[in-house]
Structure 1
Amino acid sequence: MKSYSTFIFDSYSFDPVEGQIELRYALDDGIRFIENLAVPHPRTGAAKNIDAALFALHLIGGISYYKTFCPKTIEIRSGTLNETQARFWNTVYEKGLGEFWYKNKMDGKGLVNFPVSEKRVVSPQPSPSPSPLKGRGNILLPIGGGKDSIVTLEMLREQKPTLFRMGSHPVITEIATVADLPLLTVERTLDPQLFDLNEQGALNGHVPITCYLSCLCTVIAELYGFDQIAMSCEKSANEGNVEYLGTKVNHQWSKSEEFEHIFQEYIRTFIDSNLKYWSPVRHMTELEIVKEFAKHPQYFHYTTSCNKNWKIISPLFPHGGERGRVRGEQKLWCNQCPKCAFVFALYAAYLPKERVLEIFGENLFEKKDLIPIYRQLLGLEGCKPFECVGTPEETREAFRLAEKNGFSLPIYAHT
């Protein structure tokens, strides 16, 4: 394939009437990309810090397109960065793409260089004012459908948070209904050329999606008057997966405490000093989180951590939703991936055995094709799977508690 020397952050725009955000990028002024986001309930007026939030979103949004060829030069036409900002974005790209470098056998050290320039000229953007949603609670809580965000929303229930999702997954609609909390949705559309390039052999791999979501949340917070963003990033996200070229590669880096701290500082300094970004479950292990989750059975049949369910459920959902799942027509879990295997072990530790088997439809401890995955999760071979899963110590403790809870453990769990 043709190579490219420069990745360009071209421009961004926001239409407050239509509620449309456009993020524009280019490779050598040859291939041009436009990413679109549809924002709910736009208002006209002035939101003080919206441009700074949009600029950050533009910079993180480019990572999906940058990684196709990883050009040596970065050009920013939508604004400029001082040394502190450039250092932040160098760190986000270098560490956030750690798994990408590892799987593509690349050395990312020093490869990403955001340009420094103190002077900044930005085209005026029409900006909306905080919406009436502010009166319904000042906490914005991103929800992905898993146990962690359920525990977070129940911890903050008395403060009446507003739930937030990127994409219209039906399970999250159900969770919001059960929780009886308001839900905001932003629809993101990647430029289709990205998929064409991937099919033609461009580089591809994991990106720090939690960083993207966090930047998007700052935009929503500024538009609608939220003063807190409550994430659901647990203690276990700090542990990496594998050592590579002297650096620890962490699939969950943008959920780690390291990222949380540097992003908090970035928000305070460059976006909004009054906006709080934090994770109420940061101090909790995966086992502590599932122990709390077990206290809320109303969510058991609506919650999923399986990434594949986004493809499995969406086309089937009109045929029954929760009722369809009860009839066995739909599944929230694929029962084949590391996340399903790990969460099954967690549930087996604290939920009644019959409920666990009802939720998953089978005993995953007995599945022979999951043996290699469980051995990785237990730290018996290879590295921890590149998924949002806990530490080997947590998996081993979950197995021990599951046995006390009535589950028979496979023989490899005792080796």
Structure 2
Amino acid sequence: MSTPTRVYIARLAGVAVFDPNGDQVGRVRDAVARLRSPQRSPEVVGLVAEMPMRRRIFLSINRITSIDADAIVLGSGTLNLRRFEKRPNELLVLQELLDRRVQVQPDSRAATVVDVAMECSRGGEWSLTRVAVREQSGRLARRGTLHQVAWDNVRGLSGIADTRGTANLLAVLEDMRPADLANALQDLPDARRNEVAAALDDQRLADVLSELPEHDQVEILAALGRERAADILEEMDPDDAADLLGELPPPEQDVLLDLMEPDEANPVRQLLKYTPGTAGSVMTSEPVILPPDATVAEALARIREPQLSPAVAAQVFVARTPMTTPTGRYLGMVHFQRLLREPPADLLGGVVVNDIDPLRPTTPLPEITRRMATYDLVAMPVIDRNNRLVGAVTVDDVLDHSLPPDWRDRDAAADTAAEPPSPTTADTTEHRNG
């Protein structure tokens, strides 16, 4: 194996895993260690890698040919794609040890785990040998001394952890996309998941909540407390906030809406009035809207705004004032490709397209899907009886509401998936079946 003899595991989080042909298999999310007698430190038996579609699989340490900070390379063989499940005698190093409160011997100094090192013996066996800890100094542990100690000199690494911080686990997770972070949260025990979620800033948590199954969203929101929950709802897109509030009893909906700023709550209240399964219930009330006398250059500048999703930024809707929904009279839309072909100084009123009938708030989801597929659209306008734009249905809205209700639940998705083994990557059945 071409690799250092000592590797700190937190530094491997997010590192790409490649098969012998150079094709990426997934990314490292954790390491699996097998608990042994108290006199022996845990043996590292493999890594947990996350593949596309949020599937997490086990990679045996014996089949890994190279480990470094840039890539993990597997040897030849076939890859077992069965979903990883931790066994009773196993430890997920990052999930269970980071931020754990421990005592450093010989004088039982209080410390917090920052990282854990695995080391390879001459016989090729990997085990957990060193722990990077930050000794607590006063009330703020982050000000304490950071140093490495032997595994045997740390007490409190096994058993149920006391309430702990989240800083080091968040550092491992901070570069993940919201969907991947949501997947990682589903792996945590409920109490730990709620701790980590509460430690995220409002915008980050809002993005992550939108990627979680509804039952997890509701549980996390309840654990936050109403004031913080209202702040998070304000950061969410109105359609996502409406979907989440729709899972709560009406009295709780009213309490949270009253705690939100009126300008943020009003679009959500309106969306909650629409019948489920219609354009009104799935649309976003904040598409890109400009007047007909705006220029092509202004439109291009608007759709470049980084907070816009690709589906929302794919087109500009043109309407008379006011520019917030419900707008003045709806005139049409301009796709971004058309904008790229037009002179920057031209007015939107001269390039607007209105040859496709808009949706109504009552249009059912199957009809929306058929029309978007027929015209190859990524978004369609929704207008009211007075020809005012009230929102837009985007392709991601349609997909989200067309898939099974539990499609975001990683366990449910894994149980129904049926992927054939790849013939190019390492066989991982030895340990898991042994």
When normalised by structure 2's length, the TM-score is 0.28
Structure ID, larger Rg: 2
Higher strand share: 2
When normalised by structure 1's length, the TM-score is 0.28
